[in-house]
């Protein structure tokens, strides 16, 4: 196998080797009588043989000056042609042969491959072909061989040019694909970090808000000052923990995934925990729970958890009704609370990220459902969602 990297590093040496080889080849074929060599060579023939060697050595510059090489070899061929006819100063031993050296094949390759201006290269090659083929002599053999010799190099040049461009395009495409793969991997890692942080925020804030509510209730009902102080300290610590958690993940804007959320049965636990924390919650279900697919169940659980957490923050003492209706086509979920009975705790209200409803709306839209959240006519608040009963579990809900 030829080491292409070595060839690229030693282009000058390669060109010198090619030129020397062609000089030897053309000298041997000329002396053998295959071209213009006369039967009885004289001083003119030997001089032309030396000039032919010099012309062939011009191939050393075929990369840097391809048109100059074509001009040198074309000029030598034209000079030989004029000396043979009409000057009759030289009479070849063989008839119907090309008088151009074999170096013209390699020279014809350069203009199209190494020169940027294709128009100039085509004009030069057309003149070059006319000189070599001698169409004015009307010899079919000479014309055909001359055209084939001058066409071989340009055809190879066009092929290798197209191949080089194709390789460059494929290389660029591969590099672009690699960059895109790297960016996608970075994006996936960032989204996973955001998902985990958001999920941590939702779960921890849900549990800590329960703790804060229970501590606040204990402070109000404690029989002695020591217990009230301990309850207040516990409530303050919980509020501070919520603030720190909010600061930690507040910059995240990606909605967390919910593949590990409990199914619809977990809403019963949410209702019981909310009631135990001082927010009476009733759960009403109608229809067959099995009609809802797992993705829908996780989404409904997430909606209920976020809504109940918001009630405890913003409407202390309110009564909550969670209603779920199942039918073959849709799952209707409603979380409605009455007006609050007391002012909310400022520390608890400020513990959220402010993105809960927005993230829920995005999640619901991804399962092709709808979400409405807003004040109720009686002064309370209502969150209503309509979800399709069936969403394939293979569908991405992120």
pLDDT in tens, 281-337: 999 999 988 888 888 888 898 899 888 888 888 888 899 999 999 998 899 999 999
Q: Note the pLDDT of residue 227.
A: 80
**157 in a structural domain:** no
**300 in a structural domain:** yes
**165 in a structural domain:** no
**369 in a structural domain:** yes
Q: Note the pLDDT of residue 254.
A: 44
Six-digit token string for 154:
């340009």
Contact indicator for 325, 287 with CB cutoff of 8 Å: yes
Same domain, 186 and 134: no
Same domain, 218 and 71: no
Task: Give the residue-averaged pLDDT of 95-122.
Answer: 82
Same domain, 103 and 201: no
Residue 55: φ, ψ to 5°: -60, -40
**396 in a structural domain:** no
Same domain, 234 and 358: yes
Neighbouring C-alpha atoms within 13 Å toward the C-beta of 129: 18
- Residue 93 is classified by DSSP as S
Max mean pLDDT range (63-67, 114-118, 233-237, 380-384): 380-384
Same domain, 133 and 192: no
Same domain, 187 and 125: no
Instruction: Write down which residue in 77, 103, 138 finishes a domain.
Output: 138
Domain count, the chain: 2
**117 in a structural domain:** yes
pLDDT in tens, 373-391: 889 888 899 999 999 988 7
- Torsion on CA atoms 23, 28, 31, 35, rounded to nearest 10: -70
Higher local confidence (pLDDT), 348 or 317: 317
Same domain, 25 and 120: yes
Q: Note the pLDDT of residue 274.
A: 86
pLDDT in tens, 161-176: 888 888 888 888 887 7
Same domain, 98 and 222: no
pLDDT band at 392 (very low <50, low <70, confident <90, very high): low
Q: Note the pLDDT of residue 3.
A: 59
- Torsion on CA atoms 229, 230, 236, 240, rounded to nearest 10: 150
Task: Give the residue-averaged pLDDT of 365-376.
Answer: 87
CATH code of 310's domain:
3.30.565.10
Average pLDDT, the chain: 80
Contact indicator for 335, 322 with CB cutoff of 8 Å: yes
Same domain, 118 and 27: yes
Domain span at residue 367 reads 182-388
Instruction: Write down which residue in 75, 107, 138 finishes a domain.
Output: 138
Same domain, 237 and 320: yes
Dihedral sign for Cα atoms in the order 68, 134, 145, 94 = negative
Same domain, 251 and 336: yes
Instruction: Write down which residue in 123, 138, 153 finishes a domain.
Output: 138
**171 in a structural domain:** no
Q: Note the pLDDT of residue 337.
A: 94
Residue 395 has pLDDT above 70, yes or no: no
Q: Note the pLDDT of residue 2.
A: 52
**166 in a structural domain:** no
Same domain, 200 and 117: no
Task: Give the residue-averaged pLDDT of 65-73.
Answer: 88
Largest CA distance in the chain: 136
């Amino acid at each position: 196998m030829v080491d292409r990297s070595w060839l690229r590093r030693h282009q000058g040496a390669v060109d010198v080797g090619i030129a020397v080889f062609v000089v030897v080849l053309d000298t041997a074929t000329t002396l053998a009588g295959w071209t213009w060599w006369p039967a009885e060579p004289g001083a003119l023939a030997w001089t032309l043989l030396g000039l032919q060697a010099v012309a062939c050595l011009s191939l050393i510059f075929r990369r840097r000056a391809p048109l100059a090489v074509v001009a040198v070899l074309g000029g030598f061929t034209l000079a030989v042609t004029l000396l043979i006819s009409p000057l009759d100063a030289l009479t070849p031993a063989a008839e119907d042969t090309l008088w151009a050296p074999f170096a013209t094949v390699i020279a014809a390759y350069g203009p199209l491959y190494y020169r940027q201006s294709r128009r100039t290269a085509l004009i030069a090659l057309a003149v070059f072909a006319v000189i070599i083929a001698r169409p004015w002599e009307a010899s079919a053999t000479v014309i055909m061989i001359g055209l084939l010799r001058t066409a071989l190099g340009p055809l190879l040049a066009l092929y290798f040019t197209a191949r080089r461009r194709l390789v460059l395009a494929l290389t660029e495409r591969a590099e672009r694909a690699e960059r895109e793969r790297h960016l996608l991997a970075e994006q996936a890692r960032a989204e996973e970090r955001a998902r985990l942080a958001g999920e941590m925020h939702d779960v921890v804030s849900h549990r800590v808000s329960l703790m804060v509510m229970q501590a606040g209730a204990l402070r109000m009902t404690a029989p002695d000052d020591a217990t009230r102080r301990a309850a207040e300290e516990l409530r303050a610590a919980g509020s501070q923990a919520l603030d720190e958690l909010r600061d930690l993940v507040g910059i995240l804007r990606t909605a967390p995934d919910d593949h590990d959320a409990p199914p619809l049965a977990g809403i019963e636990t949410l209702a019981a925990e909310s009631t135990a924390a001082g927010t009476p919650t009733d759960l009403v279900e109608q229809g067959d729970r099995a009609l809802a697919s797992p993705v829908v169940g996780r989404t409904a659980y997430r909606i209920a958890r976020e809504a109940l957490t918001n009630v405890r923050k913003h409407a202390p003492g309110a009564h909550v009704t969670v209603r779920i209706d199942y039918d073959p086509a849709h799952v209707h979920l409603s979380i409605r609370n009455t007006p609050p009975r007391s002012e909310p705790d400022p520390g608890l209200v400020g513990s959220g990220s402010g993105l809960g409803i927005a993230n829920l709306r995005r999640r619901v839209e991804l399962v092709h459902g709808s979400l409405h959240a807003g004040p109720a006519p009686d002064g309370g608040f209502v969150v209503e969602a309509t979800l399709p009963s069936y969403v394939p579990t293979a569908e991405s809900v992120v």
